[in-house]
A = this chain, B = another copy of it.
Amino acid sequence: MFINTKSSFKKTLKTQIFKMNIFFIIDILGLISFAISGALVAFNKKMDVFGVLIIAFVTSVGGGTLSDVLLGNMPVGWMENIMFSYIILGSAIFAIIFRSKINYLRTSLFLFDTIGIGLYTLLGIEKGLVAELHPIICIALGTMTASFGGVIRDILCNEIPIIFRKEVYATACILGGITYFTLIQFPIKENFVLVISGSVVIAVRLIAVKFKISLPNIYSKEM
């Protein structure tokens, strides 16, 4: 660190700021996606305005909150930066106003939820890397960050949590994480690695649901 030349220091700084920017943008996009996905589930449940706002909020910050708590980053992120709350509330109000335009509720919900898990998987992995944890732990953090908001949303709405079984939820997160740690072995720019890994999460889930693909069955017929 100390023997950095001035120019390499500048480069490091620039990379740091770039990384901050990338993850900041990912965080914002994830917040918006999950806020809208939360609002859509709350609409289905005919909740009142405050109910919709709260479900949007919980869905957005749930996963990040869990990973912050497990890592000991407290007060958790959304408490210290009020902008997060404004973005979530703004997205939820947007969804409330244009709810009649969001015609195909089920499809929209699925799409926003899927984009959200793709983005938050990356965010969770990054948090693990910052804390210098093992790749397996980073992937676990990514999966939790991606899925916990949706799990809380479903529990509070009395929906069966859709994680795991029907929609290849966790599998998509784990495959995205494995892609990330495979690609960073190669000399590829980190933002490409991020875009590819996030796309893997989204693609795996979309394709699996579209074509009703699932992992090889481990259950013999007599079971």
| Residues of chain A whose beta carbon lies under 8 Å from any beta carbon of chain B | 43, 45-52, 54-55, 57, 65, 69-72, 74-76, 78-80, 82, 85, 89, 96, 99-100, 131, 133-134, 136-137, 140-141, 143, 151, 155-156, 158, 160-161, 163-165, 168, 170-171, 174, 214-216, 218-220, 223
Asked whether, in the complex, the Cβ of B85 is within 8 Å of the Cβ of A218, the reply is no
| Alpha-carbon separation in the docked complex, A99 to B217 (Å) | 13
B contact residues around A99 at 8 Å (CB): 218
Q: Given A71-B79, A85-B137, do A48 and B214 touch, yes or no (CB 8 Å)? A: yes
Report the separation of the CA atoms of residues A57 and B139 in the bound assembly, to the nearest whole angstrom.
Answer: 13
24 residue pairs of the A-B complex, CB under 8 angstroms, read: A47-B164, A48-B168, A48-B215, A49-B215, A49-B216, A51-B164, A51-B165, A51-B170, A55-B164, A69-B70, A72-B75, A79-B133, A79-B141, A82-B134, A82-B136, A82-B137, A85-B134, A85-B137, A96-B218, A100-B220, A100-B223, A155-B155, A156-B164, A158-B161
For the complex with contacts A48-B218, A49-B216, A158-B160, 11 further pairs of A-B residues with Cβ separation under 8 Å are A54-B143, A54-B170, A57-B140, A69-B74, A70-B76, A71-B75, A72-B72, A72-B75, A78-B137, A96-B218, A100-B223
